[in-house]
């Protein structure tokens, strides 16, 4: 049975590959199948109570196959978070009159959706230490992807005259840091029913920051 009644130690989160099991080409297993299994486990028991063996069992693959893709649970969850963000980001873009309107609308909507996303809420509520390296020490694949998308949008807005002049990379970082704050800390400062009002304030803030 899946290990759901024990805490996985810190060493298991970074565990090394186990002895070889029946070989199977890693590229023969769809990555989405593995990440779907990890998502189900994360929502059910949290990251700290997951092991690589649990993920492999849930995905119906060998541990050796799983280890050929990722070295530990943290790496699998990082890939899962990146996938979830990429999926959401592709869904929030909408036609707008200007580059600024498009960017502000997309960021505001994305913040609102991610704030209540069950995967992020599970991490924040149960395994907040997963976020610490990305908040205090380094960027990750997800934040790098976020910066790239925002920077591209800022360049488009500058080209059509709707976004003020400035180094796009620095403007993108300011926008992303603001978005993170409203996403992660918003629930600390306002009740759930006030999220729409908070997002309206975020929209005003970004509009005025980016306007020429």
Q: Are residues 106 and 69 in the same domain?
A: no
Q: Which of 71, 78, 90 is nearest to 35 (CA)?
A: 78
CATH code, 42: 1.10.10.60
**Residues 38, 54 contacting (CB under 8 angstroms):** no
User: Three-class SS of residue 11?
Assistant: helix
User: How many other C-beta atoms lie within 10 A of the C-beta of residue 136?
Assistant: 7
Residue 141 within any structural domain of the chain? yes
pLDDT given at position 56:
96
Q: Are residues 124 and 179 in the same domain?
A: yes
Q: Which of 41, 82, 46, 75 is nearest to 59 (CA)?
A: 41
Structurally, how many domains does the chain consist of?
2
Residue 62 within any structural domain of the chain? yes
Residue 88 within any structural domain of the chain? no
Q: Are residues 114 and 197 in the same domain?
A: yes
pLDDT given at position 87:
83
User: Three-class SS of residue 71?
Assistant: coil
pLDDT given at position 86:
84
In a structure prediction context, what are the per-residue pLDDT tens digits for the chain, which is 212 residues long?
A: 444 344 455 444 555 444 444 444 555 678 999 999 999 999 999 998 999 999 999 999 999 999 999 999 999 999 998 898 888 777 776 677 899 999 999 999 999 998 999 998 898 888 888 888 878 888 878 888 889 999 999 999 999 999 999 999 999 999 999 999 999 999 999 999 999 999 999 999 999 999 99
Q: Residue 57's domain spans which residues?
A: 10-74
Q: Which helix (H) or strand (E) holds 183?
A: none
Assigned token pair, 173: 């970082």
Assigned token pair, 153: 């949008």
C-alpha atoms less than 13 angstroms from C-alpha of 16 in its C-beta half-sphere: 1
Instruction: Give me the count of residues in the chain.
Output: 212
Q: Are residues 166 and 106 in the same domain?
A: yes
């Amino acid at each position: 049975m899946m290990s759901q009644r024990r805490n996985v130690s810190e060493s298991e989160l970074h565990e090394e590959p186990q002895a070889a099991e029946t070989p199977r080409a890693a590229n023969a297993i769809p990555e989405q199948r593995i990440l779907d299994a990890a998502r189900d486990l994360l929502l059910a028991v949290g990251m700290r109570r997951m092991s690589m063996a649990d993920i492999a069992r849930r995905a119906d693959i060998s541990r050796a196959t799983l280890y050929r893709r990722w070295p530990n649970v943290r790496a699998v969850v990082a890939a899962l978070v990146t996938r979830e963000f990429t999926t959401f980001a592709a869904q929030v873009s909408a036609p707008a009159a200007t580059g600024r309107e498009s960017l502000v609308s997309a960021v505001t909507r994305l913040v609102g959706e991610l704030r209540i996303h069950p995967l992020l809420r599970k991490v924040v509520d149960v395994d907040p230490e997963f976020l610490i390296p990305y908040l205090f020490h380094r960027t990750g694949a997800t934040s790098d992807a976020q910066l790239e998308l925002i920077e591209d949008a800022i360049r488009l807005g500058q080209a059509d005259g709707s976004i003020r002049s400035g180094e796009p990379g620095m403007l993108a970082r300011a926008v992303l840091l603001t978005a993170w704050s409203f996403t992660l800390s918003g629930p600390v400062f306002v009740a759930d029913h006030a999220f729409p009002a908070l997002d309206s304030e975020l929209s005003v803030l970004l509009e005025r920051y980016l306007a020429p």
